[in-house]
Amino acid sequence: MTKAMHVYLVEGSAPEPWGESALLSFDGSSAIIHISAVKGAALVAAQKAARKLEGMGINEVVLKGETWDLESRWAFWAGFFNPRKPNKIDWGTEDSAELKELAARENASRWVREITNGTPDDVSPRVLAESAAEMLQKLAPNSVTYRIVAGDDLLREGFVGIHNVGRGSVREPVMLQLDFNPTGDDQAPVDMCLVGKGITFDSGGYSIKPSSNMATMKSDMGGAAMVTGGLALAISRGLTKRVKVYLCCAENLISGHAFKLGDIIEYKNGVSVEILNTDAEGRLVLADGLIAASEEEPRWLLDAATLTGAAKMAVGRDFNSIFSFENEAAQKVLSAAAEENEKAWRLPLERFHLEQTPSNFADIANVGIEGSPGASTAASFLARFVRDEGRNWVHMDLSGSYQPSGNDQWAPGAKGHGLRTIARFLMDN
């Protein structure tokens, strides 16, 4: 189109002939979003209307009128995003603080959505790690340092989970170790650690997935993308705390070199794990990151992962799932999500879940016993690799981070839903 459409947000219902329940009406080159047409008011209305306008082929808009605020503008952007082409929004405000925040959100969210939507051929484990490091270093060149541990060097440094999961691919597995240290003091304590699952493609290994389940598995690195995006947004908001990031990146493929059912992995913290399902690989790579993060003794430790289908079965794709043994820790993340207008829901994690992954040949197995709750036992598996089996630790199972097909609020693909929660958690705790 040659001219941007003006988009207004109004309280009243649409006039005839559009009908009282219409979300959108049009007047010449202007579109009017009617808040009263949608339960949940302005934010949901703005996002749904953006999806409708984008679906009509409108790819350039100006937000007009006094009803728009920071959150409704952002909701519109979330719905207007198209994974195949760059749509343009004039935010319609001259407020410098709003524009700065919107730019920060867009930079972080666009990176998360685009790299998660990237093809598994383009986004290898090393590409993911390097892209994350470069994006963060660009935001804070004097505060970000990093190293990438790759291939057999992972074994030499004791990161056996990432190495075993990734050894079936010709593209080497890697761990990104990144330090955001705005103090400049190498001896400064680490306030927080973030750990992300970065499986850039998950075939399921020898426990192979059916094609219908494998088709979206380029998104299995969503946890690594999400913690990176969360830190990026927090840096843009002025984060002054020292944060270390561990991205655990690999491809889970089948070959003569791939790990197998019955293998036993012995981790550097002394825990041995029997492999009973090679499609439960995310927890195996996260274990390395959690061990490394725990060695830093941070005040808080958070990991994020597209870890289980069980979490999606429990809460659907609108909520991310939160796990912690500690009420205070879980509540901090839930409160962060609420403050940022993101949806999160706590699922059960109790000490007895630690006993639901027994093994005949190792300390634990990488899957739970029949009838055990899959999301909770996955979280309890991770807890064994956190200092004191879970002290000041929260696990986010990113059940709401990816949309296999578009709906009335989201385009197909990555949503970036969760990065604002992580950014707020970093800023406020």
Q: Would you please indicate which residues are annotated as catalytic (active-site) residues?
A: 209, 283
Structure tokens of 15? 């006039």
CB-based contact 231:176 (threshold 8 Å): no
CB-based contact 25:18 (threshold 8 Å): yes
Question: What are 61's strand-pairing partners?
Answer: 5, 89
Phi then psi for 303, rounded to 5 degrees?
-120, 155
Instruction: In the chain, count H helices and then E strands.
Output: 13, 18
* Angle, CA of 214, 216 and 220, to the nearest 5°: 95
d(CA 45, CA 36): 8
Alpha-carbon distances, residue 146 vs 289, 350, 357, 418 (angstroms): 14, 35, 35, 24
Residue 202: which of 259, 250, 258, 154 has the closest Cα? Answer: 250
Question: Which run of H or of E encompasses 331?
Answer: helix 327-339
Hunting for tokens 């274990």 — which residue is that? 287
